[in-house]
Structure 1
Amino acid sequence: MSKRIVGPEIEKLIQLLAKVPGLGPRSARRAALHLIKKKEQLLGPLTVAMGDALEKVRVCSRCGNIDTVDPCMICSDPRRDAATIILVEDVSDLWALERAGAMNAQFHVLGGTLSPLDGVGPDDLNIRGLVSRVAEGGVTEVIIAVNATVEGQTTAHYVTDQLADMNVKITRLAHGVPVGGELDYLDEGTLTAALRSRTAF
């Protein structure tokens, strides 16, 4: 049994930080030490910000995004193209597409992908909400922007089936060679997808 070298409060901080994605025990110890050393500049303001987030952050009842208002700022923005919905697996995917700034559309967050092995079925995802939004009218295109995994593709096919009779165009993100990518460094699956999704030059 290892000897305790810090108090239980610091140990608890390290244990909680270690649960954050991308931080293991060693990184969590470094982060905790840095926060403690910068108590006034970092730890105090971080504590206040986390308290505010705990109290005010909510899930948008329309699209599944997280924000401090419901509906979220994206759903409430009248400048967005309400006829186009980009379907994503998670809020992090929504944020990534927003950072790219490629389209000024609406979003819909599924909250994951279908995965029978993990016990995730259609009722565990926000698919019904998407179908309801399309059924309201005004949506002309749903862009399926899920990950190119087996679960992602299974989910994409299921969603396509659910929207089949709703007079809406369904498209998906292209898969293939990334901008700046070199063919020699790409895997076979990416190269195959790129060849199948080839376009006129």
Structure 2
Amino acid sequence: MQGTSEILEQAIEQLAKLPGTGRKSARRIALYLLKQDEEFVTKIADALVNLKKKITRCSICGVISDNDPCSICENVKRDGTKICVVEESQDVFLIEKTNEYKGKYHVLGGAISPLDNIGPDDVRIKELMARVNNDEEPIHEVILALNPDSEGEATSYYINKLLKPFDEIDVTRIAYGIPMGTELEFIDEATLSRAFASRNSF
């Protein structure tokens, strides 16, 4: 169907590329933005540009951050002997909301998935092992908090196998009181907090 405005159609086309946004929702958003004053739209545009240009990843843990290293890695009050391994930065934000965990993190940036041609070298496992091998800050516990799906399980088992030779490191995993296949993003804070408190040996 031919649109009445090519500029509007271009905006709808770009907005429709956002996850969970079809053309109908994209059109509604575009028309809503069109009704707002220029300052409102400019602030949104500036925020999106800053999101892309100014946000970085912590060179230590890999979390999305405004600074490198991130505030968690720089915080001397955090327990540096514990590393919680997660798939994505959003998992760190979720765990932090529980106020249950006081150690540090390692963001893999994904999970091993042979079907998607994602192997161990495609996620930040080498960087994790480099941290484990760093004598300056000895690690006593690695907590696996990966998604309870087939990819997360495969990645957990792979990491556990790599850490087996390190007798001084306890490998634990958070206890999941949730169905298999549910991602951390969709777990409520109370459930995640309980799961973290009752983590067990791998």
Relative to the length of structure 1, the TM-score reads 0.82
Q: Structure 1: how far apart are the matches of 2:12 and 2:97?
A: 31
Q: Structure 1: how far apart are the matches of 2:148 and 2:9?
A: 39
Tell me the residue number matched to 2:176. Answer: 175
Stretches of structure 1 lacking an aligned partner (at least 5 in a row): 179-193
Taking a change above 3 Å as real, the CA distance of residues 29 and 171 of structure 1, as seen in their structure-2 partners, is same
Tell me the residue number matched to 1:53. Answer: 51
- Secondary structure (helix, strand or coil) at the match of 1:48 reads helix
- Secondary structure (helix, strand or coil) at the match of 1:30 reads helix
Tell me the residue number matched to 2:2. Answer: 3
Q: Structure 2: how far apart are the matches of 1:105 and 1:24?
A: 40
Tell me the residue number matched to 1:30. Answer: 28
Letter in 2 for 1:158: Y
Q: Structure 2: how far apart are the matches of 1:35 and 1:100?
A: 35
Q: Structure 2: how far apart are the matches of 1:72 and 1:37?
A: 38
1:41 CA drift (Å)? 4.8
Q: Structure 1: how far apart are the matches of 2:9 and 2:70?
A: 36
Match for residue 92 of structure 2 among 94, 112, 130: 94
Q: Structure 1: how far apart are the matches of 2:146 and 2:48?
A: 30
Letter in 1 for 2:149: T
Q: Structure 1: how far apart are the matches of 2:12 and 2:72?
A: 35
Taking a change above 3 Å as real, the CA distance of residues 75 and 12 of structure 1, as seen in their structure-2 partners, is farther
- Secondary structure (helix, strand or coil) at the match of 1:3 reads coil
Taking a change above 3 Å as real, the CA distance of residues 97 and 3 of structure 1, as seen in their structure-2 partners, is same
- Root-mean-square deviation (Å): 2.1
Tell me the residue number matched to 1:103. Answer: 101
Matched, 1:115 2:110: no
Q: Structure 2: how far apart are the matches of 1:158 and 1:102?
A: 26
- Secondary structure (helix, strand or coil) at the match of 2:4 reads coil
Q: Structure 1: how far apart are the matches of 2:91 and 2:154?
A: 18
- Comparing both chains, which one has the higher relative contact order based on Cα–Cα distances under 8 Å and sequence gaps of 6 or more? 2
Q: Structure 2: how far apart are the matches of 1:72 and 1:52?
A: 17
Letter in 1 for 2:51: A
1:129 CA drift (Å)? 0.5
Letter in 1 for 2:5: V
Q: Structure 2: how far apart are the matches of 1:54 and 1:151?
A: 28
Relative to the length of structure 2, the TM-score reads 0.81
What does the per-residue CA deviation read over 1:68-107, in whole Å, with 9 as the maximum and x for residues that have no partner? Answer: 2111122112221111111101111111111222212211
Percent of aligned positions that are identical: 39
Tell me the residue number matched to 1:190. Answer: none
1:177 CA drift (Å)? 5.3
Match for residue 18 of structure 1 among 16, 22, 25: 16
Mean alpha-carbon deviation: is it higher for 133-142 or for 118-127?
133-142
Q: Structure 2: how far apart are the matches of 1:153 and 1:53?
A: 31
Q: Structure 1: how far apart are the matches of 2:155 and 2:22?
A: 31
Letter in 1 for 2:13: Q
- Secondary structure (helix, strand or coil) at the match of 1:153 reads helix
- Secondary structure (helix, strand or coil) at the match of 2:93 reads helix
- Secondary structure (helix, strand or coil) at the match of 2:48 reads helix
